[in-house]
Amino acid sequence: MKIAADFEKREVVHSESLGWIKSPMAGVDRRPLDRIGGEVARATTIVRYAPGSHFSSHVHTGGEEFIVLDGVFQDEHGDFPVGSYVRNPPQSSHTPGSEDGCVIFVKLWQYQPEDRKHVKLRMDAMGSVPDQNNPGISVTPLFKDDYEEVSLLHFAPNATVSIECPEGAELFVLNGDIRESEDTLVKHSWLRTPIGTAIKATAGEEGAKVWIKSGNLTEVQKQLARVENA
């Protein structure tokens, strides 16, 4: 399966306008944003767990990164409420589910194979620092290594951010709305911009909270090769 599979093309998906697609597990539905592969895939997806649903125990050979958007995600490692940001590295395992139901934004098979760092953060409980180059913008750092950087951007009403993206980037709107190029990205809209581009985004009247990942598109072909060999 291929969805938004041309990484040289700018992509915008308004996820809340998509229908839900059933997964192989009862009660677990998906909205794919990008995907290359079958059930084993390099993928970015919105996943909805019905109350009492779960996946069977499995190993994340290519790693898993997610944000809890609604409800409480659960596994044997704990409960993860709205605003949780989690990175489960390659070779980690769990049995995910939700007693009361939840919705998550999740990325699979997008790790470096040697990464073994677990990250479990409550973004709503973290502080932020002003962006000296962009008035009205503050930043909550979430993760950084030699390949990628992940942050939360807080936009004051009508604030604008300008970011060079020499290695590509992705945005996911958690709250509020932003205008980028000719597109208005509302809550749970997703943007992927290619290598060698830039982002200039302006928030609406109520401001915005936006997850951003940069530098992550330089290793796409290696990630796809690992999926094919899985």
- Note the pLDDT of residue 39: 86
Q: For 206-230, what is the mean pLDDT?
A: 90
- Note the pLDDT of residue 143: 97
- Phi-psi region at 83: left, alpha or beta (left = phi > 0; alpha = psi -120 to 50): left
* Tens-place pLDDT, residues 10-24: 999 999 999 999 999
* Superfamily designation of domain 17-122+219-228: Jelly Rolls (2.60.120.10)
Position 36 pLDDT exceeds 90: yes
The region of weakest confidence among 19-23, 27-31, 96-100, 220-224 is: 220-224
SS3 203: strand
Do 210 and 155 meet the contact criterion of CB atoms below 8 Å apart? yes
pLDDT band for 224, please (50, 70, 90 cuts).
confident
pLDDT band for 58, please (50, 70, 90 cuts).
confident
SS3 track for 144-161: ECCCCEEEEEEECCCCEE
- The CA-atom distances, in angstroms, between 25 and each of 49, 52, 107, 170 are 10, 12, 18, 28
- pLDDT > 90: percent of the chain: 83
Position 43 pLDDT exceeds 90: yes
* Tens-place pLDDT, residues 92-135: 999 999 999 999 999 999 998 888 999 999 999 999 999 999 99
- Note the pLDDT of residue 230: 78
* Tens-place pLDDT, residues 160-187: 999 999 999 999 999 999 999 999 999 9
- Note the pLDDT of residue 120: 97
Mean pLDDT estimate for the chain: 95
Position 229 pLDDT exceeds 90: no
Cα distance between residue 221 and residue 223, in whole Å: 5
Local structure of residue 82 (DSSP, 8 states): T
Cα distance between residue 201 and residue 144, in whole Å: 22
CATH 2.60.120.10 is the classification of domain 127-214? yes
**Where along the chain do the CATH 2.60.120.10 domains lie?**
17-122+219-228, 127-214
Position 55 pLDDT exceeds 90: no
pTM of the predicted model over 0.75 = yes
